[in-house]
Structure 1
Amino acid sequence: MDTLAERWDRLRRHVRVIGPADERPRPAVLLFHGCGGLRQHLPRYAEAAMQAGWRAFIIDSYAARGWSREYALATVCTGLQLRGDKRAGDVLAALSDISKWPDVIPGKIALAGWSHGGWGIMEAMSSERRPGMLGLANPGDVSLEGIKAVYLAYPYIGVAALNRMRPWKHCPRTLAVVSRTDHLTTVRNAERVMTMVGNCGADIETWIAEGTHAFDEPGAVKPMVYHPQLADEAVERFRALLTDVAAAPPVWTSPASLRGVQTGMTRLS
């Protein structure tokens, strides 16, 4: 069983960082992909965060485990491996380390998850976090208090998400994107779950997008269908959420001032 530090040591080499190239402390958003793995739409959201003055960290949970997309589709998407409670360990490990970076403001963190990634975030927000839970020896050693916003894109809240109605322990501003024709949940179920989240005092907004699950993912396969106009709106709503919860220092617009996507990230200390 991993400690937070050991889990992060597995993840950190497979994190993509997108953000201004300066060393100024800035708000940060952590992005967690769906069960199909890291796809081309997440960097687009990260770029939007960068333009808003935030630092964005895309965490690749599969590369850290040596899993291919095909393997994940056959095991994670079918519920055989890495269910939401275990994915929550990745969320907490990333939060624990990134919030300590000198160019990140620890009290201005946002979490963003797509489908399975949203499931993992919801488990991290609601679990008791006793030793041994969430696949971690010390899950309680990281505070949730610095999380100012949560973005949930068609989160998985189907029958395998046994804890979907468990109240959150920390209740930040939340935007939940619900797909009207999602084959994994009904709108009624999603609204019931999000009402529960709001009951703890979270300022929660639910946007019902007139599309399928993964409508913002180019190349989505049926029953999922890519919808470019809805995708544009989703990115704009994501950006607006970030700017609403935390002001960020302005970004220089010259190409030399921006840090592009980096892979094989090494830990800053």
Structure 2
Amino acid sequence: MDTLADRWKLLEARTTVVGADDDRPRPAVILFHGCGGLRDHLPRYAAAAKAAGWRAFIVDSWGARGWSRELALLTVCTGLMLRGDKRAGDVLAALDGVSRRRDVDSMKIALAGWSHGGWGIMEAMSADRRPRSLGLADPGAVDLGGVLAVYLAYPYIGPAALNRMRPWKHCPKTLAVISRADHLTTVRNAENVHAMVRNCGADVETWVAEGTHAFDEPGASPPMRYHPELADEAERRFVALLEDVAVAPQP
């Protein structure tokens, strides 16, 4: 079973760093893609974070494992492999690895997840993190105290997300994006889940976007549909969340 260090070693090789060309400790946001793998919209969010003075780390969880998009669609998107509780191991390992970098302010971290990535973040926030849970030997060894914000873009909270109503152990400021026409959840279900998160003491803002699941992903396949205006608004809200929780040094 992986330790945090083992998992980060695996992921680091397929993690893209976007940020100012300096070594100043900057706030950092770690981005986790959906079940279909890394797509074109995450670099756009990373570039927006860079423009705001943050460092962004795009974690390619499937590439790190040598998985193709086709394999992920057949296995991860169908729930056969690597459900959200195991993806939480990637979230914790990336948090641990990124927090140790000299060019990152370890007390100013944001986590951002799209669909399956959001599921993984929610599992990481709510789990007891006992030894050998979440697919890690030592999940409790990483400190969540530096996580100031969470961005959840239409996170998966369907029937397979068995722990979706489990209270969070760490409660940072959260922006939860709900898609009105999401084929994976109802708005009511999403609002109930996010209300549970709010009850732990987190400052949770919800935005119901008038689009489908993955509305910000160019080339999204039916029943999903790319909506450029909503994508722009999602990016704006993403940056506003970052700027709400930390002042970044300018280049």
TM-score, reference length from structure 1 = 0.93
2:44 matched to which residue of 1? 44
Question: 1:6 offset after TM fit, Å?
Answer: 0.6
Residue number in structure 1 paired with 2:142: 142
Q: Which blocks of at least 5 consecutive residues in structure 1 are unaligned?
A: 252-269
Q: Look up the match of 1:214.
A: 214
Distance 2:61 2:144 in 1: 20
Secondary structure of the residue aligned to 1:164 is coil
Alignment partner, residue 28 of structure 1: 28
- Whole-angstrom CA distance in 1 between matches of 2:243 and 2:75: 37
User: Per-residue deviation at 1:97?
Assistant: 1.2
* Divergent runs of 4+, >6 A: none
Indicate the SS of the match to 2:217: coil
Deviation at 1:89, TM superposition (A): 0.2
* Distance in 1, Cα, partners of 2:6 & 2:250: 35
Query: 1:207-239 CA deviation, whole Å, 9 max, x = no partner?
Result: 000000000000001000000000000000000
Output the CA distance in 1 between the equivalents of 2:166 and 2:114: 19
2:130 matched residue in structure 1 = 130
The residue aligned with 2:225 is: 225
Aligned to 2:117: 117
The equivalent of 1:17 in structure 2 is 17
1:60 maps to amino acid: D
In structure 2, the residue matched to 1:54 is 54
Provide the C-alpha distance between the structure 2 equivalents of 1:151 and 1:40, rounded to a whole number of angstroms. Answer: 18
Deviation at 1:21, TM superposition (A): 0.4
Q: Say whether residues 1:101 and 2:101 are aligned partners.
A: yes
- Give the 3-state SS of the residue equivalent to 1:118 in structure 2: helix
Cα distance in 2, alignment partners of residues 123 and 2 from structure 1: 18
* Alpha-carbon distance in structure 2 between the residues aligned to 1:199 and 1:116: 23
- For residues 135-164 of structure 1, the C-alpha deviation after alignment (integer angstroms, 9 at most, x for no partner) is 000000001110000000000000000000
* Aligned-residue offset at 1:176: 0.2
Q: TM-score, normalised by structure 2?
A: 1.00
Deviations 1:154-207 (A, max 9, x none): 000000000000000000000000000000000000000000000010000000
Q: Which position in structure 2 is the counterpart of 1:154?
A: 154
**Distance of 1:223 and 1:113 partners within structure 2:** 21
Report the counterpart of residue 178 of structure 2 in structure 1.
178
Structure 1 equivalent of residue 247 of structure 2:
247
Read off the aligned partner of 2:83 and give its amino acid letter. R
* Alignment partner, residue 187 of structure 1: 187
Alignment length, in residue pairs? 251
C-alpha distance in 2, partners of 1:200/1:121? 16
**Structure 2 counterpart of 1:203, which letter?**
D
The 2-side partners of 1:144 and 1:117 are apart by 17
CA-based RMSD of the aligned residues comes to: 0.4
Letter in 1 for 2:29: V
Deviation at 1:241, TM superposition (A): 0.4
- The amino acid of 1:158's aligned partner reads G
Structure with bigger RCO (C-alpha 8 Å, 6+ apart):
1
2: CA distance, partners of 1:95 / 1:186: 30
Match for residue 73 of structure 2? Answer: 73
Distance 1:143 1:244 in 2: 22
* Partner in structure 2 of residue 85 of structure 1: 85
